[in-house]
Amino acid sequence: MAPTSEFTVLLPAAVVALMVMTLQLSAAAAAAATAPPRPPVIGQPGCDTLCGNVSVPYPFGFGPSSRCYWPGLNLTCDRRHNPPRLLLGDSALRVTDISLRNATVRVMRAGSIVNATGDSSGSWNAPFGPGFTENGYQLSYSNEIVVSGCNVVARILADIREKTPRIIGGCASFCTIIDREDGPLTLDTTRETKNKYCTGTGGCCQASVSASGTPNAVEAKWLYSGNHTAEQHLQPAIVFIAEEGWVDKNGLLDDELEEVPIVLEWSVTQGLSHWNNCHDDMRQRVLCKSEQSRCSSDSPGRFTCQCEDGYDGNPYLLGGCQDIDECELPSEENGCFGDCINTIGSMECRCPHGTFGNPGIRGGCVKINSTTGLIIGLSVASGAALLPMVLGIIFVRRKIKQRRVKALKQKYFKQNRGQLLQQLLSQKADIAERMIIPVDELAKATNNFDKAREIGGGGHGTVYKGILSDLHVVAIKKSKITVQKEIDEFINEVAILSQINHKNVVKLFGCCLETEVPLLVYEFISNGTLYHHLHVEGPRSLSWRHRLRIATEIASSLAYLHSTVLNPIIHRDIKSSNILLDDKLMAKVSDFGTSRYIPMDNEGLTTRIQGTRGYMDPMCFHTGRLTEKSDVYSFGVLLVELLTRKKPFSYLSTEGDRLAAHFVNLLAKGNVIEIIDPQVIEEGGEEIQEVAALASSCVNVRSEERPTMRQVEHILEGLWGSKKYKKDDTNLEKFQKQAEGQRNEESSRRYSLEQEMMMSSTFPR
């Protein structure tokens, strides 16, 4: 009804009712011609989708053909039983239900995790048990831990390899031991159940799983160490996991072999190498094949698919998400108390013929009587005279709205220093046309900044993927915070990137200044960051050859920023997450929001502390003086990160040292091999020791003793150009000549745009 909203203000209500009834009839006619729903799509063609009485939807499957299931989600149909049993992978866990909508699997587990008899010691550490932890399944919140025994406490642990394991569930069971002179010890098992079977007293307790996760172990112990003989003889300690509510309904286990239901959360964790998020439409269709589906990820490396609102079915198959007929639901659920008309992906609700009003509430549709009909007739007659007036009012309102939008754009353009940019580009119409991009163009490119187009975010804004009218695929950065500091950093990034022309620095296409905060438009780099390629799960990551080449490319770009451009630039935030990699794994330095020009006296400048923990120059941190040697330090930490595959911002040695300091200490003692990535040791050679020495010199606490980035570049290019790599890369000689030619050309070239940019620094801002 949005197209008629402007008329409803002025036309009589009866006229609106007549128009509504007309639309109802046409919608009903269209719905009558709708094709009947197709049968649900469950599995891949030619694959079994039933084991016993359990339906098995793709991406789950079983059988010898791997195309019937997604890697890691294979099941086993044990036909030795009648009916056959569906098992989780190769485990003994029996699957009873699989939900695609909730991303859960309900399994039955026989026996307890801990069963301590009278001969047991005071405490136990038991593995959670085989069956699902090795395949990436997680315990759902819909479970609870149950402990039976006298004065026993138990807890479920995850991440047991960390210094502080994570607790995802636990409870304590208490009971009173009755000691009579005329009889044996007995237990007082009286418990006030209330709404729970076990309340913590009377010999058992139950508590909900407090966090979703993959459990590794169960710890349990008697609370009174050294005095638990009576407890363990009178009532063994038993610990198990059960679906929430099962114990309240069935009581405690009477038979150790009895099956107990557990609800597991599942997700796709294999076969999606280098996936960082779900925002890439092309990648999403690899997993979520239905057109009416979307991908979601609640934690890194774990992905699921869901059908869009108004659809249900299997999002992992072509045509798997099908329209839901909301009209088959009760009125209380679909919210329609009139005539319900199903549409593709939604529904329409209209008042029945001969009535008008609000069909969304019970009794909201009122019958039209003879008096109402007379009013309708008079209103229709007068409506013809009112129509030109209504159209005129609508036209005027639209004109006023357009002027307001235009005035607001001009206000933001001026606030974001657009006039300065226009002055800089006034004599270069071709550059101005490319650099200044209207907001309407970016809104169209991103589907009005749809959340599904988000591909990342950082301290300075949210990044969207878009396609411009000239078919360039771009990344658009939009500030999150509308404060002057953020605007200044955006303008700073425009000023810096406008004068940079280097193949290892991300290219700036232009900017938009017609919004409350400026928008920056970059070339789209499709292969993620160096951080995500380096820090993957498993023993192997980027090859040493790739790491050395990437380090050389980063050093080349920093040397260019420090010594080749007309006004040298300090990047100020060099780290692996700010290094983008293209499809050929070529490095692209990004994020210049905190960068600064190097003063002409080359003695540094005083600035507030900014950077990333672990990468930050300690000399700059203590003195507040920023020089190009601060970038050298950050690059040295990055070299250590490439050598060790350790994360500088989170690493702490046993002595409490950060990664760089610990690396230097080990190198000085001749024990640096202890921290080097085994893959680097296997693939590298003598140059590993040279790179380690170079990294150590870059992270020297005394900044004056660090090399320059030009010196670092020459050392790395010498290593990269060694005979070993000439054998591997037939194009290496050509690459070196091109690089040398580019440096000579960049050293001699002085862009007039750069000159104008610097001259403009005296203009009022």
CATH label of the domain that carries residue 540: 1.10.510.10
At 423, which helix (H) or strand (E)? helix 418-425
Residue with tokens 């974001």: 416
In a domain, 569, yes or no: yes
In a domain, 620, yes or no: yes
| Residues whose CB is less than 8 angstroms from the CB of residue 418 and which lie 6 or more positions away in sequence, other chains included | 436, 513, 514
In a domain, 557, yes or no: yes
At 747, which helix (H) or strand (E)? helix 732-748
Residue with tokens 């050389």: 552
Q: What is the pLDDT of residue 421?
A: 58
Residue 207: C-alpha distances to residues 141, 143, 237 (Å): 11, 9, 16
pTM greater than 0.85: no
Q: Same domain for 337 and 426?
A: no
Residue 711: CB atoms within 10 Å: 16
Q: What is the pLDDT of residue 698?
A: 96
Q: Same domain for 597 and 476?
A: no
Nearest to 261 by CA among 100, 97, 53: 97
Residue 233: CB atoms within 10 Å: 13
573 catalytic per annotation: yes
Give the three-class secondary structure for 708.
Answer: coil
Largest CA distance in the chain: 109
- Choosing from 323, 348, 363, the residue where a domain stops is 323
Gyration radius of the chain over CA positions:
34
Nearest to 660 by CA among 624, 706, 626: 706
Q: Same domain for 546 and 682?
A: yes
Q: Same domain for 74 and 110?
A: no
| Residues whose CB is less than 8 angstroms from the CB of residue 49 and which lie 6 or more positions away in sequence, other chains included | 42, 43, 55, 56, 57, 58, 61
At 367, which helix (H) or strand (E)? strand 365-367
Q: Same domain for 314 and 197?
A: no
What is residue 689's DSSP assignment? H
Q: Same domain for 205 and 188?
A: yes
- Choosing from 235, 265, 295, the residue where a domain stops is 265
In a domain, 623, yes or no: yes
Mean pLDDT per 10-residue interval, the chain, length 765 residues: 36 41 42 46 84 93 89 90 89 90 89 63 65 71 87 82 77 76 57 69 84 78 64 73 88 67 88 70 77 83 87 90 90 89 88 87 81 57 69 82 77 66 53 72 88 73 85 82 57 66 87 81 88 90 94 95 81 90 92 59 51 83 80 95 92 85 93 93 89 95 93 93 52 43 39 32 31
DSSP states along 368-413: --HHHHHHHHHHHHHHHHHHHHHHHHHHHHHHHHHHHHHHHHHHHH
Select which of 323, 339, 573, 677 is catalytic.
Answer: 573
Range of the domain at 307: 50-90+269-323
Residue 212: CB atoms within 10 Å: 16
Residue 742: C-alpha distances to residues 11, 670, 729, 747 (Å): 71, 39, 20, 8
Q: Same domain for 118 and 256?
A: yes
In a domain, 82, yes or no: yes
Long-range contacts of 673-679 (CB under 8 A, 24+ apart): 675/644, 675/646, 676/643, 676/644, 677/541, 677/643, 677/644, 677/645, 678/539, 679/539, 679/540, 679/541, 679/543, 679/544, 679/645
Strands (E), 391-527: 454-458, 461-467, 473-478, 508-512, 519-523
> Burial code of 718-747, b = ≥16 C-beta within 10 A, e = fewer?
ebbbbeeeeeeeeebeeeeeebeebbeeee
Q: What is the pLDDT of residue 222?
A: 80
User: Are the CB atoms for 708 and 632 separated by under 8 Å?
Assistant: yes
In a domain, 221, yes or no: yes
Q: Same domain for 58 and 163?
A: no
Q: How far out from the chain centre does Cα 299 lie?
A: 7
Locate 320 and state its tokens.
Answer: 């798997």
Q: Same domain for 184 and 71?
A: no
Give the integer Cα–Cα distance in Å for 52 and 741: 70
Q: Same domain for 611 and 712?
A: yes
The domain that holds 498 is classified in CATH as: 3.30.200.20
Q: What is the pLDDT of residue 675?
A: 94
In a domain, 494, yes or no: yes
Q: Same domain for 319 and 216?
A: no
- Choosing from 265, 287, 313, the residue where a domain stops is 265
Domain count, the chain: 5
DSSP states along 12-48: -HHHHHHHHHHHHHHHHHHHHTPPPPPPPP-S-TTS-
User: Are the CB atoms for 510 and 434 separated by under 8 Å?
Assistant: yes
Q: Same domain for 555 and 704?
A: yes
104-110 vs 94-99, strand pairing mode: antiparallel
Give the three-class secondary structure for 634.
Answer: helix
Give the integer Cα–Cα distance in Å for 738 and 553: 13
Strands (E), 20-161: 50-51, 54-55, 61-62, 74-78, 85-87, 94-99, 104-110, 114-116, 123-127, 138-139, 143-148, 152-158
Residue 8: C-alpha distances to residues 15, 19, 252, 387, 390 (Å): 9, 11, 65, 12, 10
In a domain, 500, yes or no: yes
Q: What is the pLDDT of residue 745?
A: 42
Residue 737: C-alpha distances to residues 141, 720, 747 (Å): 60, 14, 15
- Give the type of residue at 219: E
